[in-house]
Chains A and B, each alone.
Chain A
Amino acid sequence: MMLDAGGGMSPIDPRLQEALDNERDPGDLPADQQDAYARLMTAATLLSAKPAVSVADRVMAEIRAMPQQLHTGNRWRRAARWLTRPLAVTLRLRPAWTLGLAAAGLAAILLLPGDENGPELPRASEGVAQFVGHFPGAQSVEVVGSFNNWSRGKLHLRDENHDGIWHGDAVLPAGQHEYMFVVDGERWVADPLAGRYVDDGFGVGRQNAVLIVRQASSEDTPQQ
């Protein structure tokens, strides 16, 4: 049977059918039928041949051949492998959102204050405190006080040009603070320039410096 032009099946020439069935010598066929015979035999050979291995077949074969220990190790080892194994992550982004996020990031970089030029900007209830001390030969000077819970290592002064004048700024809550300098990590010194002092109350006559931080946005201007 052969397909005719309309898609229906058409009867094959009996001589050609006999040749295909090895009941007739193909050389006895007319020339046009010999061509048809040759084409049909070629097609039959291709169809009967073992199909080539597809890509999918090869991938599946390799997966089947993979070592089985991935599934047989203890759960922590499997978890560790899962955590450290590179995973492909696909992100589906809308261009409009991507551009919006980029714009927001740029705005944050431009608008948020940096710390290159000193301390961060004070809020309404804060002010900037400036500390200066003359400690020639000191290796380190830090400020420890009520504003940092008397903790060491929070506010270090600087002496960039090694002239013994140590200085630093800090944004602090407005109001009264007590503090001392700690020189070289062990010597407690009341700020000689503070101008205000208070006994520290521990009975050895030591005094704390008193600092009053004024609000940076103070509205208490002179009244005419």
Chain B
Amino acid sequence: MRLTLSLVLSCVAASSPLTAQSPTRLARVPDAARPAIDSLIAIAVAESLPTEPLVQKALEGTAKGVPPDRLVSGVRRGLLQLREARTIVARAMPAGQSVPEGHVAAVAAALARGLNPTVVERLVAVAPSEPPAPALHATADLMAHGFNADSAADLLVEAHDKGLRGDRLLDVATAANHELQRAGGRTQADALAKVRAMLPNVPAPVTPVTHHAPKGS
């Protein structure tokens, strides 16, 4: 009897990822949206996709008071981005190597920031064993300041080739944006050439705590 009860409870827990993962966190989600969100998260689990971005999106929409239909749409959009991200990462990884969950979440975030899949795949393929988020964010930062996506990716690949890793790649974008803003009316090409010449010795942040991209002025 006790064994049967345990098996039943195990099956219920396995079929209810929302409850199993974070019952306290998701208790805030409105009842009208919860079954649909539960289903979307269950799909993510079944497809071995990371679920935390979906949980966060559900919590975000709940906190903002988003109506249930739009809340569900936002989570569904997140699921689609995760699927696309997983496809991109799988293409970029060497044959036979598994797709890291962290890569998928980082690539999905980059897609949400507007990076095109081709550039993302290229940047992931350059260093498939390293977390791709810094290179992807650096590229997105450059694009936000008007740099061409391919030129930005070229600069980041070169920085990686010259030994820069991790958050230091963010400093490459910061340096290029600073060069662009210098007096004298530099063009994007001028700024890229200047930074390329200083690689790998781009300036580090004074206090390496947070990185806010410089505002355009």
**Interface residues, chain A, CB within 8 Å of chain B?**
127-130, 144, 146, 149-152, 175-176, 178, 188, 193-196, 198-204, 206, 208, 210-216, 218, 220-224
Given A196-B144, A220-B166, A222-B200, do A212 and B63 touch, yes or no (CB 8 Å)?
no
Q: Are the CB atoms of B214 and A195 closer together than 8 Å?
A: yes
State which residues 184-208 of B face A: CB under 8 Å: 200-202, 204-205, 208
A202 to B215, CA, bound (A): 26
Chain A interface SS verdict (over half): loop
On chain B, the residues within 8 Å of A150 by CB distance are: 56, 59-60, 62-64
A146 to B153, CA, bound (A): 28
Instruction: Say which size band chain B's interface belongs to.
Output: 35 or more
- Name the residue of chain A whose CB is nearest to the CB of B210: A129
Nearest Cβ on chain B to A207's Cβ, whole angstroms: 10
Select A214's contact among B64, B106, B167, B200, beta carbons within 8 Å: B167
Nearest Cβ on chain A to B185's Cβ, whole angstroms: 22
**Interface residues, chain B, CB within 8 Å of chain A?**
25, 56-57, 59-64, 66, 70-71, 73-74, 77-78, 106, 109, 112-113, 133-134, 137, 140-141, 144, 162-168, 170, 200-202, 204-205, 208-215
On chain A, the residues within 8 Å of B211 by CB distance are: 212, 214
A214 to B70, CA, bound (A): 33
Q: Considering the complex of A and B, which 3 residue pairs feature the smallest CB-CB distances, nearest first? A: A195-B213, A223-B163, A220-B166
A188 to B64, CA, bound (A): 8
